[in-house]
Amino acid sequence: MSTPQQTRLRIFMTGVGGQGTLTATTLLARAALSFGLSVTSGEIHGMAQRGGVVESTLLIGYQSPKIGHGEADILLGFEPLETLRALPYLKAGGLVLSSTEYLPPLSVASGREENPDLDTIKARIQACAGTARFLPCRSLGVQAGAVQSGNIALLGALCAMGALPFGNELLAETVRATMKPKVAEVNLRALELGAAHPA
């Protein structure tokens, strides 16, 4: 395993407003910092209102918060259509973790666009990614106690895969340190459910 000073990772996250994309980014950044990693994060494009597209970045071992096309080692998609749209950012052979449950963006809800079916999205992701894993994040959130914790289930899966230099234990500590006890309890359950969910 590389030392914290040698670790270099580019993580691109995308979802729809209200899914906790930025919360997930903040939690991962705090966990990485507490592990002794150099972290830069940024919000590329975000709409505060529910339904708008939200994209953020987390870079470990890099100075700039920007990720260009073909540069992301990891793509985390909290909504399948947004995962598909963000694929150009993934480097060849990169890792994709995506929710399988739609939360239609405004363009789809208003009828301007249509969602591709899930099998089509999965096939396109698998054609680009070295590793791809899909989880029903919203359902796992509901199972944990709050649909909003689906974002944490995706982080749990990411840590369980060994894709980060730290594991779920550190992420769980970060959840406990940054969230109110009742909220933390739900998110810790989501973390466990995501880590245990089969591919």
**pLDDT per residue over 13-36, tens digit each?**
999 877 788 899 999 999 999 999
pTM of the shown model:
0.91
| Cβ contact 16:54 at 8 Å | yes
- The tokens of 31 are what? 């966990």
Q: Which H/E stretch holds residue 106?
A: helix 106-109
- For 144-178, write each residue's pLDDT tens digit: 999 999 999 999 999 999 999 999 999 999 999 99
Per-position b or e across 100-131, b if 16+ CB within 10 A of its CB: bbbbebbebeeeeeebeeeeebbeebeebbee
- For domain 9-137+154-166, say whether CATH 3.40.920.10 is its number: yes
Give me the DSSP letters along 27-72.
HHHHHHHHTT--EEEEEEEE-SSTTSEEEEEEEES-S-----TT-E
Which stretch of 2-6, 15-19, 69-73, 193-197 has the lowest confidence by average pLDDT?
2-6
Residue with tokens 């985390």: 76
- For 81-99, write each residue's pLDDT tens digit: 999 999 999 999 999 999 9
| Cβ contact 159:122 at 8 Å | no
